[in-house]
Every structure is written in C-alpha cells, then in structure tokens.
Amino acid sequence: MMKKFVYAFSEGNAKMRELLGGKGANLAEMTVLGLPVPQGFTITTEACTQYYEDDRQVSPEIEAEIFEHLAKLEELTGKKFGDPSNPLLVSVRSGARASMPGMMDTILNLGLNDQVVEGFAKLTNNERFAYDSYRRFIQMFSDVVMEVPKHQFEVIIDQMKEAKGVTLDTELDADDLKEMVVRFKAYYKEQKNEDFPQQPREQLMEAVKAVFRSWDNPRAIYYRRMNDIPSSWGTAVNVQTMVFGNTGNTSGTGVAFTRDPATGENRLFGEFLVNAQGEDVVAGVRTPQHIDELKDIMPDVYNQFCDVAHRLEQHYRDMQDMEFTIENGKLFMLQTRNGKRTAHAAIKIACDLVDEGMITPQEAVCMVEPKQLDSLLHPQFDQKALKAAKEIGVGLAASPGAACGKVVFTAEEATEEGKKGEAVILVRLETSPEDIEGMNHAKGILTVRGGMTSHAAVVARGMGTCCVSGCGDIVMHEEEGYFELGGRKISRGEYISLDGSTGKIYGEAIPTVAASVSGDFGRLMAWADEARQLKVYTNADTPKDAVQALSFGAEGIGLCRTEHMFFEGVRIKAVREMILSKTEEQRRVALAKLLPMQQGDFEAIYEAMQGHPVTIRFLDPPLHEFVPHTEAEIKELSEEMNISVEEIHNVIASLHEFNPMMGHRGCRLAVSYPEIAEMQTQAVINAAINVSRKHPEWKIVPEIMIPLVGEVKELAYVKSVVTKTADELIAQSGMELHYKVGTMIEIPRAAVTADEIAKEAEFFSFGTNDLTQMTFGFSRDDAGKFLNYYYDKKIYEFDPFAKLDQAGVGKLVEMACKLGRQTRPDIKLGICGEHGGDPSSVEFCHKVGLTYVSCSPFRVPIARLAAAQAAIKYPR
C-alpha cells in the first residue's frame, strides 16, 4: 500500500502526534470531540522527512495528495480555492511533535490575490476587512516564504498612520488599506524583481515548502539543541480553513490557559484583542485585554469558551494552552496543547490535580520537567534588601524568579557577556525569535512592549528565566546606550534587578538568598522518592556544599575531590614544598604538614554528612597545576624554601607535559610517590576514627576511590599501600572500622577489563567526563572550539560532555557494569561525571542498573525527579 502523507482533521486523533505533530494531532482530537474547529488537513512529519530526502523537493505524489485533500475541503466548506465569488482561504501552520513556540511561522489568509480580494470584499460586504486580510497575507507570505525583509512593511504602516494622524491599525480605513496593498506589492517587486504571486495553488505549495524549510533554520536548530529534540523528527504542516477575527467589533482573537501559567492558580488566564487576527496578540502590536473582560463584551462567547476550556482540561487531564478566534460572534478553537508553565506553576498544578482526583501521584511526578526545577533551586531576593530597594518601575510579571545583572540592549551582547560568565539583563523594546540565544544567556529579560503571552514572556517561562514584559514607561535610547525609567537614566553596563513574580524593576543590585524544598515542592519530591530506584548522591568537596546537597535531599557524597583542598592559603605552600622535594624524605616532611589539614577537612565532611556514605577520591590532577606561575610567586617561594629561582624554573620545566590530561596524574602519581597515597589514607582513616568515636551510631565506612586506573595491577599496587596504612591505623585505634577501596572507571581500558579490575575494586564510579574525553579522543577544554562545526554539519546533535553519548560511552559503561558484576555480584556502581545530573543520562543510568548517580548539589532535586520518571517509565 502507498504511504499516506496527508490526513483530514477528521481522520486523526491525539495519539497520532508523531505523525501529525502536536498541533495537527490536537486539532484532530478537538474535531473528534465535536468542538468548533475550522476544518482542514495535516501534511505529515514523514512528508517533511521525505522532502529532505528528495533533496528539498515535494514529490509529485505528495503534491497530488495535498490537492486531493484541498478538493475535499472545498466540498466540505462549499467554498472554492481561488474563486472570487466564494473563495476558500486557508492558514498554513507548522507543528512539530514537541511544541516549539515561535520557532516556525504561520501564514494566514492564503488564497487571496488581486481578483479574489475584490470578490471577497463584495461577498463579506466589508471592503476594509478584505483588504486588511490581503495586506496581512502579503506581509506574512513575503517574510516567511520569500524571505523579504519584514521591517519595511512596518515602516510603510507607520508612515501611513502618521500621514493620517492616527495611532492604531484599526483606525485605517478601506482606502488606506487598499493603498497599503499597492505599496506592499511595490516593495515586494522591488525586492524580488517579480510580481507578488497571484496563483493560489502556487502560494500553497510555496508555503508548505517554507514550513518544511523552517525546520532547518538556525533558530529551530538552536531550540532543538537546547531541548533535546532530534533533527530527524521533522515538522508537520496544517492547512486550515480561515476564520476571521478581523471582521469588526463582534470578532476577535485570543490566547488562554486553563490555569495561571506563572503561579498555577486554578482560574482561566489569558488575553484577547477585538477586531484582530492571529499573531496580533502574541506580537504585542496592541496591548490586549484580559480574558475576564470578554465576559462583559460577549457574554455568550465567554461562557461557551469557559465550557470548552473545562472540557479540554478534563479530557487531557492537564492544564491547556488554547488559541481561539471569534468570527462575528461565533467561537472557533484553533489550537490546544498542554501549556508551558513556570516550575512553580508546574508543581502547584501537579499537586492540585492530584488533590482534585484527576491524576495519580505517579502521573504528577511525570508531569514536571526535571530541568525546570533549576529555577526554583537558585537564589531568590533577600527579602530585607528587597524591601529597602527602590523600585523605579513596574511591568507585567511574565516569568517569575529574581534576576540581577548588568544592562545590555542586544541579544548578541547578552550572548557574548553571558558566555564570559557575566550576569546580564536583556532590555528590549520587544523580543523576536532571532533573540533566542541571547535570551538564553541572560539572567533576566525586560521588555517595553508585549503582554503576558508575548514572545518574550512565553520563551522566558519555557527557559525558567525571569522576565518582566510590557513596561511601557521605559523610554529607550538604545543607540545612545541607555534607557530612562522612573526619573532614572540607566546606561549599558549598570546593574538593575527584576522581580519576575511582581513585575517590579529596581535600579540597583539586590542580594539574593538560597531556595528551599518545601510545601508543594516537598510533596512532589516525596512522591518522586517513593518511585525511584536509583539513589542520588552529590559531588561535594566542602562541608558547605555537603550541607547544601543534604538540604536538597542528597543521600551521600559520590565524589569528594581532594585537590581543591590543596589550594587554600598555607596549604599550597606545603604542597609546593612537596613537589619541589628531591628525596622521599623531604617529601614526607612536606606531606606531614598537609596531613592534619587534610584530616580536618575530612572530619568536617564526615560530621556534615552524619553517617551518609562518602566516597573520597585521591589526588588526581597533574602536579604542575600546583606550581607557581608568576615570577613574583616564584621568587617568594625561592626565598621561603631556600631554593634558587633557577632551580624552581627547572622543576617547573620538568613538570611540563604535552598532554597533561593524559599525563602524570591520577593513580600514576600514587604509583610514583606512594607516600602521597599513604598520607591521604592516614587522613581519611584518622578522620573516620575520630568522628566515629563521637558518633558510633553513624557507622562510618570510608570509601577510598583511586582515580584513572586502566590496569588492574596499578590498582592492586595503590590499594596495597592504602590497606597497609589503613589496617595499621585501625589496629592501633582498637576500633572496628570497615572501609572500601574502589576505582573510577574513566579510561576505556578499565571499562573493557572491568572483570579484572573488579577483583581489586569494591566499587566502581563512572567518571564520565574523562571517559567521554578518552573515548572520543577530544579534550573537554578544547572541544568547544570545534563542536559547533559538528552541530552545523549534523555530525553531532548535542554536547557529549553534557548529555551522555549512550551509543559509545554508554556502551562502555554497560559493558563495565556487566563485567564488574560477573566478578563481584554485589559491586556498588555509580556515576560521578557531569552526566549524573542530566535527566536523559539519569534515565540511562537507571536502565543499566547503577546503584546511584552523583551530581552537583543544585542538581540533586533534578536527578531525584529524573530518576523517579525513569523508574516509572522503565520498571526494573
């Protein structure tokens, strides 16, 4: 049978999302539910994939199928495409499987041309409306399909309004709009050297191709990368009969949510505009009215809409984000989807739906995007400082959170400064999809125009970035590098603070305080903990980090790095003394100075962790990282140690390595200088003994982790140093103390020989940062320079250091787990690379049956939720 590439709305349903895209599947589902949906058809995502396979051509077969469906639509509506006496007009809308807001553009009123518009004016007895629709079509088609720069259209509109002395589009009359069409077409011709296309069928096919093409535009690619959406999915195209919100004052268009997407509050929330079409609400051209006002203007439509909204929420069992149009007092539904929401709202809605009996706690756990939690875990404004701060203005509270940073005016600046680690606030008249990367790098977004559903607001909420929109009091002087607000003049680079929960703007930096996991957040996490099978540990080198992680629900430390402890104050001197030592004896003297400091560190960590497991990794970095680099420091050191400057230079030179990452580091240090491992063992065991004396109930079992092992014999050697030292100390103490020695699996050879390694190692911890580096053969410090070329050429779709490469590195992890268990069935398996806090990587760790994942303190709740979702999706 031939593959079907086009489906009428009446042929689909919500389950066909992969094929029809989210928008198409939900339009079909609403049709099935009997809701008022303008009819149409969906060209499948497979047709998009086919388009790319056919070298960016729509095959004749697919084209024929499209026109078959168009003919059926003509029959259904009684209108004819291109017929001036009763024209069928359509919208052409993109719609991928996962919603990609603002990423791809919609074309409205397609099917109009110079003749059709005249007939349409007669038919509707509304010349103004007909020409308004035509000028909109020319504008959208030119921009989206023909890539004619859109700015000039706005300039023409502004010029015409100015000439007439009016401020609103709606104040232009039919003649003005006719004139506008003439000017638009002239501009088009000037740009393209040809007349504006007059053939509706050609317009349709060009529009379809433009939607397919838009799947591959840079904004879409960037959005996909940020949201883990594979490029192979493709987008569907929806062709839908037009309904018109711009026929006059009994018409309009709007966007609404069944619950408040910022707070989660259970009330209808949204905006609409009278006498407007499509994008007007989102684009922030006019400031829209609150949905509650519809009650007064059109009470029947309002009540009907409330019913529909309620039905949709009950049907989908989730908060819905709906788009609608009212044509001459009649309601039409144009879209519904599970609404994007802030993390705060996501949690409240999930808990409320459980309380309302609509969903189970497990479903609630699956409803919240783990990465989103990030915005709740980061600091909020210090309440005292906030009260003391002076407010200079207020806008709409579009996306909650606290942001403080330096003012920038362009997305490029935001990206540049953000990459340098600077906190910036992006201040714009309004944002557009081109700004997405800059928005992602900004701590906060402030716009002059646009409502709660403007582009800036929608995108910021999706990113969990604080946003205040529509602050009309701001006077921008972007070119001069400043803006005015509340009597203040604020220049580029000055600090401001935004409160995304109140919309308030402060002309100063306001300090922030840490967040906590309580209330609904705590409830959700408790449900998550019940569901998950993976334990969640943290990577923490200090008692402060350990305490932070515990408060976020960490169950242990999976990685305590010891080298950070070597850099502070007086310690670094002892470390340098050790490095400059020429004999073992000298080295032991220096190490003896380090011992009490290191032991104190471990005691503090054991105290902080109150008996939770702690894995301590022995010294890992190459020694040259500890030597002084400036001449002044070298001179100081030479005086202190009574060694000549020249001699120090010699040592530094001797430590130089061509490939330090593959050089004299990890267990190789302990093989060369076993006394270092000896000292570290003493520090760990003494600390455990001392803390155990005070708290025998904690039953501390030290876990010592030897890094960078690639060969079982090197592990066996270092382990013998550790056990000899540890056993002596324990015997002397007269205490009973068990300890474990294990290793990191971070060299491919270790993964491949894990059955051998497990003879010595009592636990494995996958160090997937190094393992990724060694498996790919590129350094994580340098890969940033060339990975962009790989993304552009679609060789890689994501950064393997952020998201575990399951096909390659993951295979090694899986193999090592299997081999390790063969030798030692009860071996403890964990991961301590960056991947331990990445949701898709956590899912992988669950599937291969690790005992725990370990991640930075701020990602602990994210990992807990991701682990729960993995366990629900793939029961072990």
Report the interface residues with Mg ion, using CB under 5 A.
106, 323, 335
From the list ligand ADP, Mg ion, none, pick the one residue 243 interacts with, judged by a Cβ distance below 5 to 8 Å according to partner type.
ligand ADP
The total number of residues shown for the chain amounts to 876
- The catalytic residue among 351, 466, 467, 832 is 832
Q: Choose which of 26, 44, 50, 91 interacts with ligand ADP (CB under 6 A).
A: 91
**Distance in angstroms (rounded) separating the CA atoms of residues 772 and 775:** 5
323 binds ligand ADP (CB under 6 A): yes
How many Å is the Cα radius of gyration of the chain?
32
Return the closest-CA partner of residue 843 out of 826, 831, 827.
831
Site residues for ligand ADP, 105-144, by CB under 6 A, read 106, 108
Interface of this chain with ligand ADP, residues 29 to 68, rule: CB under 6 A = 38
Partner touching 240 among Mg ion, ligand ADP, none, CB below 5 to 8 Å by kind: ligand ADP
What residues contact residue 191 under an 8 Å CB cut-off, 6+ apart?
Answer: 142, 146, 148, 149
User: C-beta of 392: minimal distance to Mg ion in Å?
Assistant: 33
Name the burial class of residue 786, with classes exposed (0-12), middle (13-18) and buried (19+) by CB atoms within 10 angstroms of its CB: exposed
- Which one, 246 or 548, has the nearer CB to ligand ADP? 246
Q: Which stretch binds ligand ADP (CB under 6 A): 5-13, 63-71, 100-108, 540-548?
A: 100-108
CB closer to ligand ADP out of 433 and 748: 433
Beta-sheet strands, E only, within 570-691:
614-617
Q: How far is the CB of 70 from ligand ADP (least distance, A)?
A: 14
Tell me which stretch binds ligand ADP (CB under 6 A): 237-245, 671-679, 715-723, 802-810. 237-245
CB of 241 or CB of 773, closer to ligand ADP: 241
Give the closest residue to 868 by CA, choosing from 518, 370, 515. Answer: 370
3-state secondary structure 150-164: CHHHHHHHHHHHHHH
Candidate residues 180, 243, 268, 865; the one interacting with ligand ADP per rule CB under 6 A: 243
The first and second tokens of residue 542, run together, are: 């200090």
Nearer to Mg ion, 326 or 754 (CB): 326
Q: Name which of 243 and 689 has its Cβ closer to ligand ADP.
A: 243
- Is the alpha carbon torsion for 420, 426, 427, 431 positive or negative? positive
| 455 labelled catalytic | yes
Q: Provide, rounded to whole angstroms, the least separation between the CB of residue 395 and ligand ADP.
A: 23
Scanning 113-121, 236-244, 579-587, 715-723 for contacts with ligand ADP by CB under 6 A, the matching segment is 236-244
CA 549 vs CA 372, 752, 864: distances in Å: 18, 33, 12
Q: Considering the complex, state which of residue 335 and residue 581 has its C-beta at the smaller distance from Mg ion.
A: 335
Partners of residue 405 on adjacent β-strands? 496
Active-site option among 455, 612, 624, 835 = 455
Residue 242 vs 747, nearer CB to ligand ADP: 242
Name the binder of 325 from Mg ion, ligand ADP, none, CB < 5-8 A by kind.
Answer: ligand ADP
Q: Is 447 in the site for ligand ADP (CB under 6 A)?
A: no
Does residue 684 sit in helix, strand or coil? helix
Q: CA 382 to CA 515: how far, in whole Å? A: 10
Q: How far is the CB of 108 from ligand ADP (least distance, A)?
A: 6
Asked if 325 touches ligand ADP (CB under 6 A), the answer is: yes
Binding residues for ligand ADP restricted to 555-614, rule: CB under 6 A: none
Q: In this structure, which long-range contacts are made by residues 867-870, counting pairs with CB atoms below 8 Å and at least 24 apart in sequence? A: 867/528, 867/532, 867/533, 867/534, 867/536, 867/842, 868/365, 868/527, 868/528, 868/529, 868/530, 868/531, 868/532, 869/365, 869/366, 869/370, 869/839, 869/843, 870/532, 870/534, 870/842, 870/843, 870/845, 870/846
Q: Least Å distance between CB 96 and Mg ion?
A: 12
- The DSSP result for 231-280, as a single string, is TTS-EEEEEEE---S-SSTT-EEEEEESS-TTT--SS-EEEEEES--TTH
CB of 237 to Mg ion, least distance (A): 14
Candidates 96, 242, 747, 832; binder of ligand ADP (CB under 6 A) is 242
Instruction: Confirm whether 306 is a catalytic residue.
Output: no
Q: Which is nearer to Mg ion, 235 or 497 (CB)?
A: 235
29 binds, among ligand ADP, Mg ion, none (CB under 5 to 8 A by kind): none
Give residues 250-289 in contact with ligand ADP (rule: CB under 6 A).
253, 278-279
Q: Is 776 exposed, middle or buried (0-12, 13-18, 19+ CB in 10 A)?
A: middle
d(C-alpha 561, C-alpha 615), whole Å: 9
Token pair, residue 439, equals: 């928005």
Decide: helix, strand or coil at residue 179.
helix
- Nearest approach, Cβ of 233 to Mg ion (angstroms)? 18
Residues known to be catalytic: 455, 832
Binding site residues, ligand ADP, CB under 6 A: 38, 91, 93, 102, 106, 108, 240-243, 253, 278-279, 323, 325, 334-335
